[in-house]
Amino acid sequence: MVERSVDSDLEQFEIENEEDFDKLIQKPQDTSIVSKITNSDFFGNNLGLLLIVISKVFNSVMIVCCKLLEMDPTVDRPIHALEILSVRMFLTYICCYAYMHHFKTPDYPFGPKEWRLYGVMRGVFGFSGVFGMYFSLQYLTVPDAVVITFLIPSVVGILARIFLHERFTKIEAWGALVSFLGVLLIARPPFLFGERSSDESDHNVETSDPAKRILAVAASLMGVVGASSVTIVIKHIGKNVHPLILVSYFSLITFIISTVSIIFTPGLGFHVPQTLHQWFLFILIGISGFFMQFLLTEGIQRERKASRSALMFYTEIVFVICWDYLIWKHAPNTLSWIGISIIVTSALTVVLVKDKGSEVPVVQEEPIFLDDIDIRN
């Protein structure tokens, strides 16, 4: 046994060995920025956020590739959004099934019987969410189409209040209302903003037809409702179903709906990519989509704080604006910039205020002295 005096005001206490004493007496930690970055704990604590940001890079690449396929001027018939969805989701489901089969995922491929209906709901709502995004890309710029999806946190709050009986705060209600104002500035309906001249838009990037623009915004809003409903369904399911099983439901149902719609919709049909450029974009969509889903799921699982995860979703607008300028040399006009700023600001405000209000209060405890601690084995 070893005895040491730790402080003149504390009584001597017994410890088992030298190592126990060294663990109690440690040097002050270096709190400099360099130390935080080089410390492995820094990466461990923020790895989930980093994975989410990387997933948004892959998602922006996938969205841009879809835009290029839908607006390809070098072919007689650009590829429709449903065709892109059908091919992408077929490849995604094959990858999911192969992974679940190889690693023997519990209850694969359809999950527990009592949760299969909710898996189907996740797939149907997921289809409406992704189709709304893909369809809107035909008539909107990539930043405009993506920023409308930032309405999802507000819509989730409303749906959670209705179906999950969660609290919907005043700041969330105001955030939803203000965000809708931002959507109006992006959509610019003619009954509010007047008719737009044909030279106001780059026809290779966005449409100048007000009717088509409103249709695209309506489809995007349908996607927002679908994606928000997916969040409610997944929140209700909780951890009762493996995440990859839910992804497989989404990909399989989207593939089925897309394929059936192509078959029975006049003027549509499966067309083999005509150029190496289209083949490359299809492959890039498949790869980006797979890694996006994987990294996003892994990042959310690693990050315990939902509000911090949600903050990372809004980094996507930075990536898509960069792609939009680098590829099409197109920058959002003044009204779109104002709309984007309004939606992003209101969304961040809702997340930050909600996070602040959800902090666990600090409990005052009695001080603990070293002589009160029993460290003996």
Which uninterrupted H or E stretch holds 48? Answer: helix 40-70
How confident is the model at residue 208, as a pLDDT?
67
pTM of the model: 0.69
Mutual orientation of helices 210-237 and 243-264 as an angle, nearest 10°?
150
- Measured CA to CA, the distance from residue 245 to residue 258 in angstroms comes to 20
- Measured CA to CA, the distance from residue 375 to residue 11 in angstroms comes to 15
Question: How many helices (H) does the chain have, and how many strands (E)?
Answer: 15, 2
* Beta carbons within 8 Å of 42's beta carbon, 6+ residues apart: 36
Sites in the chain below the pLDDT cut of 50? 1-15, 21, 23-25, 27-28, 30-38, 307, 355-377
- Residue 369 sits at φ, ψ, to 5 deg, of -100, 160
Identity of the residue numbered 369: F
DSSP category for residue 125: H
Instruction: Judge if the upstream peptide bond of residue 109 is cis by omega within 30 degrees of 0.
Output: yes
How confident is the model at residue 187, as a pLDDT?
66
Instruction: Judge if the upstream peptide bond of residue 361 is cis by omega within 30 degrees of 0.
Output: no
Per-residue pLDDT tens for 220-255?
A: 999 999 988 888 888 788 778 888 898 899 999 999
Go through the chain and tell me how many residues it has: 377
Strands, E assignment, 36-76: none
- Residue 76 sits at φ, ψ, to 5 deg, of -70, -35
Written as one string, the DSSP assignment of 161-186 is HHHS-----HHHHHHHHHHHHHHHHH
* Beta carbons within 8 Å of 261's beta carbon, 6+ residues apart: 82, 268
How confident is the model at residue 252, as a pLDDT?
94
How confident is the model at residue 109, as a pLDDT?
86
Per-residue pLDDT tens for 168-187?
A: 777 777 877 887 788 778 76
- Measured CA to CA, the distance from residue 197 to residue 10 in angstroms comes to 83
Strand partners, 13: 4
At 3 the three-state DSSP class reads strand
Neighbours of 92 (CB within 10 A): 21
- Measured CA to CA, the distance from residue 138 to residue 275 in angstroms comes to 20
Task: Provide the CB-side half-sphere exposure for 377 (13 A, CA).
Answer: 4
| b/e code 220-236 from CB counts within 10 Å (16+ = b) | bbbbbbbbbbbbbbbee
Identity of the residue numbered 80: H
* Beta carbons within 8 Å of 115's beta carbon, 6+ residues apart: 237, 240, 241
Q: How big is the CA angle at 55 (ends 53 and 59), to the nearest 5 degrees? A: 115
How confident is the model at residue 24, as a pLDDT?
47
Which uninterrupted H or E stretch holds 237? Answer: helix 210-237
